[in-house]
Structure 1
Amino acid sequence: MTTSVQNGRDDGQPAMHTPLVVSAQAWATAHQELLVKEKAQTRARDALAAERRRMPWMAVERTYAFEGPAGKTSLLDLFAGRRQLIVYRAFFEPGVFGWPEQACRGCSMVADQVAHLAHLNARDTTLVFISRASQADIARLKARMGWEMPWFTITDSFDADFDVGEWHGTNVFYRDGNRVYRTYFVNNRGDEQMGSTWNYLDVTPLGRQETWEDSPEGYPQTPTYKWWNWHDSYVPDAAPDKTWVAVSDAGEAAFRNRDAGAKP
């Protein structure tokens, strides 16, 4: 049995044409049909990330300088000793709507969505924002908005050289000793998904670094779940907590058993 929902509006707008209301069994069937497509999308996204990890790299030959809270700093310094660097170009500078009280609305929405950076750092990855505003302006904005990501001032042609001179965008770099390579770039709607730990890691050359991923031979990988931690409890080079290992093992086994009994 199906019925329709009457969505009359009292604000002068047209009524909404909503889906049918169905029984619990019919709803479960519709949900399972959609789930098949959602799982296919997840697998396609994983395959795309695997292809991304095999993209060729571009050597960064120029030396770039930024201003940070401690003064002049280089592109190499932005890695903070880690192997991977994600750089988001946020528009906060004279001429941007909202200046000087606010940054670009879209860039501010991106900033509001950034997950706790400790999880990225635990995967040898640093995230920074860059703009052409001064450090004094950036510090004031961060304090007002409650943002904690490192945020540096562009002082040269970095933005133009890496396709973010006239628009926002996310560049990804890899450090091999003192050599820096550009590995990926995304902008426009591609930036919409940024903010979660997983989406950031999926655009890096090393990925999530978990054993289930399809990565080139020799890439660092650890068992799924085992490296996860509370954001204030990561300890470099520490072995996974034994209790958490047992809990995550049980969870993985439950998922495997469920999937084994599921209909294709």
Structure 2
Amino acid sequence: MQPHNVVSREAWIAARKAHLVHEKELTQARERLSEERRALPWVKVDKDYAFDGPGGKVTLAELFRGRRQLVVQHFMFAPDWNEGCKHCSFWADGFERMIPHLAARDATLVAISRAPVEKLAAFQTRMGWTFDWLSSGNNDFNYDYEVSFTPEALNSGEDKYNFGTTRIGMEEAPGISVFYRDEAGTIFHTYSCFARGLDMMNAAYHYLDLTPLGRHEEDLPYPMDWVRLRDHYTPAPVQASCCHS
């Protein structure tokens, strides 16, 4: 961490107000970006996707649960894996309790992975999650929305991720896709984001960004190397109490 000046409260307030100007600029830019996002054109979904859920087959239309908007968290969990991706789990810990709030604004959020529903259910129980989690192992959904890649695509260099901007080099990738269902029942794909575009959905990262050390990932092999499944973290050393009995 870089050295910091220690100043009076008055000097700190002055510096904080100067920084507030830039924070407001970012907020206004983000609002403009959100308006631009909502104005993007849509694509009609012509495929009849059916997913495996705990109670049997579920169509894409049924995932909306009667609401107009559907947010799909593309959760990395390949059929032959024994547990879900630790990074996607980091996001899932954050959105687990958002579901009722999203529902109040006419939006349903679900997670979809290629692993069989039995594996999803077991891992979900282990993590204590309650959101709807479906398997797309028997359809092309993950491939169509470019978060899963066949061995042939990997071998031929066709594993293009984030709208073709980069090769992913692995069979599974994270993402979020958004859909809208109109009164006639027609479904439209309205938005998807990948890679760093997912950062804005991780509240823990934004809390860390407020701290003096930030995410402090600079010296790691890759930025998220520190992340573990919630039940895999080593307990922090217990420090001596500052109070004496």
Taking structure 2 as the reference length, the TM-score comes to 0.69
Aligned match of 1:220: none
| Structural mapping, 1:139-218, within 5 Å | 139-154=121-136, 155-165=138-148, 166-176=172-182, 177-195=184-202
Aligned match of 2:46: 61
Larger Rg belongs to: 1
Aligned match of 2:213: none
Taking structure 1 as the reference length, the TM-score comes to 0.65
d(CA) in 2 for partners of 1:162 and 1:17? 42
Alignment match of 1:33 (pick from 3, 9, 18): 18
| Structural mapping, 1:1-264, within 5 Å | 16-95=1-80, 99-100=81-82, 102-114=83-95, 115-154=97-136, 155-165=138-148, 166-176=172-182, 177-195=184-202
d(CA) in 2 for partners of 1:94 and 1:139? 13
Deviations 1:120-172 (A, max 9, x none): 00111000000111111111111110111100000211111112114111000
What are the ranges of 5 or more consecutive residues in structure 1 without an aligned counterpart?
1-15, 197-264
d(CA) in 2 for partners of 1:73 and 1:17? 53
d(CA) in 2 for partners of 1:189 and 1:43? 20
Q: Name the SS for the 1:113 alignment partner.
A: helix
Deviations 1:177-221 (A, max 9, x none): 31000000101011122156xxxxxxxxxxxxxxxxxxxxxxxxx
The number of residue pairs the alignment matches comes to 178
Q: Name the SS for the 2:3 alignment partner.
A: coil
* 1:111 partner amino acid: A
* 1:145 partner amino acid: M
What are the ranges of 5 or more consecutive residues in structure 2 without an aligned counterpart?
149-171, 204-245
Aligned match of 2:153: none
* 1:132 partner amino acid: R
d(CA) in 1 for partners of 2:40 and 2:101? 24
The percent of aligned pairs where both chains have the same amino acid is: 44
In the TM superposition, what is the alpha-carbon distance from 1:116 to its structure 2 partner? Answer: 2.6
d(CA) in 2 for partners of 1:66 and 1:81? 17
d(CA) in 2 for partners of 1:85 and 1:164? 17
Deviations 1:23-49 (A, max 9, x none): 111100010000110011011111111
d(CA) in 2 for partners of 1:175 and 1:44? 29
Alpha-carbon RMSD across the aligned residues, in angstroms, is 1.6
Q: Name the SS for the 2:131 alignment partner.
A: coil
Q: 4+ residue runs of structure 1 moved beyond 3 angstroms?
A: none
Answer yes or no: is the 8 Å Cα contact 1:110–1:192 preserved in 2. no
